């Protein structure tokens, strides 16, 4: 029974009364699963400001919290999670002007990406519309984002301004605890050869070294 305690969003203890908006807000709770100690935003003008845009959906209208790019219009976020995430959608909220990002490129499981790394082919690219209120949801190809422990978001350009400004980035999806996978292996495959699992665990790290 203990395993069930980590079901997918069945907990109704926090804010059942706000059914309408609360229901939608709860879906955008992945910001709680970000490893903030290791979160990076490259080319942010003010250090640490990139982390401010990941917050509760209900607080997306807080205009005091934003990130602005520094040298040019590009921004790159490296977002490690505290477990494994199935990413289903993204919201990007900016000003209704040229500083709003015009394109978003998503990369999966490439820690510490740099702008040079961003030259590679992303898992998915979106053309963005200006969204000053944080209502437009960009759905991901879930098959590509069903096992994400690190997400990189690259904003290569905006609508013509010298710098890019973002107030809020919403991440929608499901979260699984980091250790659940190993527990499953112990339970059901105790007789299997441990060396097999050694390999399995290290494959994600090898493919981008080459």
Please, are residues 149 and 57 in contact by the beta-carbon 8 Å criterion? no
Give the tokens for residue 175: 């979260």
pTM: 0.76
pLDDT number for residue 195: 53
d(CA 47, CA 37): 13
CATH of 23-176, one of 2.60.120.260, 3.40.50.970, 3.40.50.720, 2.60.120.470: 2.60.120.470
C-alpha distances in angstroms, 12 versus 29, 55, 59, 88, 207?
Answer: 14, 20, 20, 21, 41
Q: How many CB atoms lie within 10 A of CB 77?
A: 23
pLDDT number for residue 19: 39
pLDDT number for residue 204: 47
pLDDT number for residue 179: 64
Walking along the chain (210 residues) 10 residues at a time, the average pLDDT comes out as: 43 38 78 97 98 96 97 97 96 98 98 97 98 97 97 98 98 83 48 51 45
Give the tokens for residue 118: 């961003």
pLDDT number for residue 98: 98
pLDDT number for residue 127: 98
């Amino acid at each position: 029974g203990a395993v069930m305690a980590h079901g997918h969003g069945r907990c109704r203890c926090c804010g059942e009364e706000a059914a309408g908006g609360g229901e939608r807000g709860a879906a955008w709770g992945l910001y709680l699963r970000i490893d903030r100690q290791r979160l990076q935003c490259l080319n942010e003008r003010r250090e640490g400001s990139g982390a401010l845009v990941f917050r509760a959906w209900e607080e997306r209208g807080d205009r005091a919290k934003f990130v602005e790019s520094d040298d040019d219009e590009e921004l790159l976020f490296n977002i490690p999670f505290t477990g494994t995430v199935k990413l289903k959608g993204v919201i990007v909220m900016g000003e209704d002007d040229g500083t709003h990002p015009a394109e978003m490129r998503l990369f999966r499981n490439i820690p510490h990406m740099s702008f040079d790394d961003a030259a590679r082919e992303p898992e998915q690219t979106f053309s963005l519309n200006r969204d000053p209120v944080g209502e437009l949801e960009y759905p991901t190809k879930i098959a590509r984002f069903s096992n994400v422990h690190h997400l990189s978001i690259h904003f290569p350009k905006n609508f013509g301004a010298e710098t890019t400004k973002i107030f809020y980035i919403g991440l929608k999806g499901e979260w699984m605890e980091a250790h659940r996978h190993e527990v499953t292996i112990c339970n059901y495959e105790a007789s299997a050869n441990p060396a097999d699992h050694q390999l399995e665990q290290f494959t994600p790290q090898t493919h981008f070294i080459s």
